[in-house]
Amino acid sequence: MENINQLIEKEKITSKQMNVLMIIIIIVFFLRDGFGKNIPVVVFFVLYFLGFLILSRNELLQFFLFLIPLSNGSLLYYLNLVFGIFFIFKNAHSIKITNAITTSLLLVLWEVLHLLPNTFLGYNENIFKLLGFTLCLIVTTLIISNYKIKNNYISIMFSWCFGLGAFCGIMLTKYIHYFGLANFTTAVRRFGWIPASLDYSSTSMLMNPNELGKLVIITVFCLLTILKVQREYSYKIVFLITYFILFGLMSASRSFLIVFFTLLFVFMLELIIKPKHNKRIIIVLIITTLLMLIFVTIYMRPILIIISDRFKSGDVSGSRFDIYRKYFNILRKSPYLIFGSGMQDYNEKYGLPYSSHNFFIEIISIWGIVGLALTFFWCIGLYSSLKLKKFIFLKNKTILPLLPLLGLFLYEQTGQFFISYYNTFPPLIIALLNIKYAELDIKNSLSI
């Protein structure tokens, strides 16, 4: 057997391998997306595969979450596929069937029961899309429900921040490179998109501004959770929170502002209730707020104008309410209300050119009320599998660890969840593991 020193040395080696891989990947992305160099997508395929092949099983999740913000199109599908296969292969001996796994299998079975008749009815159903969804759903459920959190949650979060921060930096470099520092806000307007004037491929780095806002919210409140218990990371977290909020503002997303300030208000109530126990966070929030006000006032006036114009528009919901009304009118007269239409291209089965943009309407549209019940039990199974001590957050008068999950839930009321599973499952993993991390820390502090 390996002794402790050998294990520590082995862990250091694998960590160095991951750091080197991350840096190489970021450099390649910078060259391709930041400066327009012609780098074949197969280079990214090889780097992704190599990473999952050589890294230890405890580093797979870190590497995967680092890559999520950087990946798009077929590269994102490939990332989810390769990670899922390697994750199951390297963790096969520790996988246990939980209630959450059972419910996820029922969801897959329910989707299969839609795919077969839809195929006979002439709809363009794809078995490979079904297999991809199945793999991602099962792996996500495994990670949350029975994947041992002996891998360091702080390392997971900082890997995620490294990837999301790199995405923001590369996109900013791209905008400045093509449009100049003074003009890029006018040319781009909302951070994350690629203007039509630029050539880009299906795997080019880009992100829906609303999606960027969602990731910023989850990241910021997860970092605040770490800050509450880990003093040694204070300076790094202050920088990251300030950095990400600036890009959240640059997304000019109304959803970002509404959800962010809703969660911040809830968190402020916690700080007021227990000011003595939250001195460090209060100081951090004051410093961050001052830095933000100074920077935004001096350098981000065009962004503030765009945000103001968006809130002044006639329809603040971005036509969401009209979309909800159309789906509701069709559903109430259709058998799809009970059974759903299936996931794939479901909007076409309703004769609509757009998806529902709401968590509950989406589930009812694709799986009906039956699917809504199964989804409810899946969510309950995921949360129950964390095996939290009863009322532990209530007894400690804190709601902070739950805010990332609440933010995700609120955001999905105007977005897509299961349809965009390759984008939405990773933030769900982070939000739920954040809850478990906070609970473990509270338990440790009570046992001292």
For 318-339, b where at least 16 C-beta lie within 10 A, e where not — what string?
A: bebeebbeebeebbeebebeeb
Percentage of the chain exceeding pLDDT 90:
44
For residue 219, pLDDT over 70 is answered with yes
Q: Would you state the pLDDT for residue 429? A: 95
Band the pLDDT of 56: cuts 50, 70, 90: confident
Q: Would you state the pLDDT for residue 148? A: 57
User: Are residues 363 and 371 in contact, defined by beta-carbon separation less than 8 angstroms?
Assistant: yes
User: Are residues 208 and 80 in contact, defined by beta-carbon separation less than 8 angstroms?
Assistant: no
Band the pLDDT of 27: cuts 50, 70, 90: very high
Average pLDDT taken over every residue of the chain: 85
Distance separating alpha carbons of residues 45 and 49, to the nearest angstrom: 6
Q: Would you state the pLDDT for residue 199? A: 64
Percentage of the chain exceeding pLDDT 70:
90
76-79: long-range pairs with CB below 8 Å, 24+: 76/422, 76/423, 77/132, 77/422, 78/45, 78/48, 79/48
Distance separating alpha carbons of residues 294 and 256, to the nearest angstrom: 20
How much is the average pLDDT of 414-443? 89
Sign of the torsion angle spanned by Cα atoms 218, 54, 44, 76: negative
Q: Would you state the pLDDT for residue 151? A: 47
- Range of weakest confidence among 173-187, 284-298, 411-425: 173-187
Distance separating alpha carbons of residues 164 and 65, to the nearest angstrom: 9
Q: Which residue has the higher pLDDT, 51 or 388?
A: 51
Q: Which residue has the higher pLDDT, 275 or 444?
A: 275
Task: Give the model confidence (pLDDT) of 129-170 as tens digits.
Answer: 999 999 999 999 999 987 554 448 888 999 999 999 999 999
Band the pLDDT of 405: cuts 50, 70, 90: very high
- Paired residues of 193 in beta bridges: 191
- Paired residues of 191 in beta bridges: 193
